[in-house]
Amino acid sequence: MPVANNELNTPPAVVLLSGGLDSATTLAIARDQGFACHAIAFDYGQRHRAELDASLRQAKALGALSHRVVHVDMNQFGGSALTDFSIEVPEAHSQAGIPSTYVPARNTVMLSLALALAETLNSRDIFLGINAVDYSGYPDCRPEYIAAFEHMANLATKAGVEGTRFRIHAPLIDMSKADIIRTGTGLGVDYSLTVSCYQASPDGKACGHCDSCALRAEGFAAAGIADPTHYVKG
């Protein structure tokens, strides 16, 4: 849906906007860098559907030109705690290595669809809020993955063949959660609108116990900024 259309002299960018803290900050950074932003969110059968509502609220609050939800029924694949309801969501810090919340090829699927949208919109810039510090267990949150995707994208597309290169921007990749929160706060992000919890309630309240809740709470504490998160209890 169109959200606003008053920016005509800025280059278009596609921003992956999940509804969480990181992608809201990424949208604010893209805006600050002078891009006219088109937000894209994914409904891939995740538990935390409250994020999709949060995504639209943020797109409006942060001045995106448009917001789309793309449905991709990856839940028929199984294999992750985020889409397979038979696998329990782990408590914070309960695992080493690649977490069970890892969704096979999720960032690749989302970036591919963002690439399709970007080519259609004549945009060459895609922003996503991945982070190699907090999510070191996810293979598709590493700089070498982003570089490989960018290389592939420029061979895959009409734009790449015609010489105008796509750029995949991951501005948070080396930032701590506290850095992200400080940066976003400086750019006017209202974090009370974001939902990070892996098992948020239908109205977007956070459980306070999962990995994602723990990282977020620690981030606000480290940044010295009051945590505006709405928790189920408290």
Binding site for its own copies (CB under 8 A): 68, 70-74, 76-79, 98, 102-109, 111-113, 115-117, 119-120, 139-140, 142, 144-145, 148-149, 151-153, 155-158, 160-161
H or E element in which residue 109 lies: helix 106-120
By the 8 A CB rule, do 6 and 66 touch? Answer: no
Q: Shortest gap between Cβ of 136 and its own copies (angstroms)?
A: 11
Compare residues 31 and 106 and give the one whose CB is closer to its own copies.
Answer: 106
CA dist., res. 115 & res. 120, Å (int) = 9
Grouping H, G, I as helix, E, B as strand and the rest as coil, residue 198 is: coil
30 is in an annotated binding site: no
Q: Shortest gap between Cβ of 146 and its own copies (angstroms)?
A: 9
193 is in an annotated binding site: no
Tell me which residue has tokens 């695992």.
95
Q: Shortest gap between Cβ of 108 and its own copies (angstroms)?
A: 5
* Single-letter residue type at 223: A
Compare residues 29 and 159 and give the one whose CB is closer to its own copies.
Answer: 159
CA dist., res. 8 & res. 164, Å (int) = 20
HSE toward the beta carbon, residue 54, CA cutoff 13 A:
31
CA dist., res. 120 & res. 197, Å (int) = 32
Q: Shortest gap between Cβ of 211 and its own copies (angstroms)?
A: 17
By the 8 A CB rule, do 73 and 79 touch? Answer: no
Compare residues 123 and 183 and give the one whose CB is closer to its own copies.
Answer: 123
111 is in an annotated binding site: no
210 is in an annotated binding site: yes
73 is in an annotated binding site: no
By the 8 A CB rule, do 105 and 43 touch? Answer: no
Q: Shortest gap between Cβ of 5 and its own copies (angstroms)?
A: 17
26 is in an annotated binding site: yes
Compare residues 168 and 197 and give the one whose CB is closer to its own copies.
Answer: 168
213 is in an annotated binding site: yes
- Would you mind telling me the total number of residues written for the chain in this entry? 234
Compare residues 68 and 205 and give the one whose CB is closer to its own copies.
Answer: 68
Residue (of 4, 51, 58) closest to 26 by Cα position: 58
Q: Shortest gap between Cβ of 216 and its own copies (angstroms)?
A: 24
Tell me which residue has tokens 């990070």.
196
Q: Binding site, residues?
A: 17-27, 197, 207, 210, 213
Q: Binding site for Zn(2+), residues?
A: 197, 207, 210, 213
Q: Binding site for ATP, residues?
A: 17-27
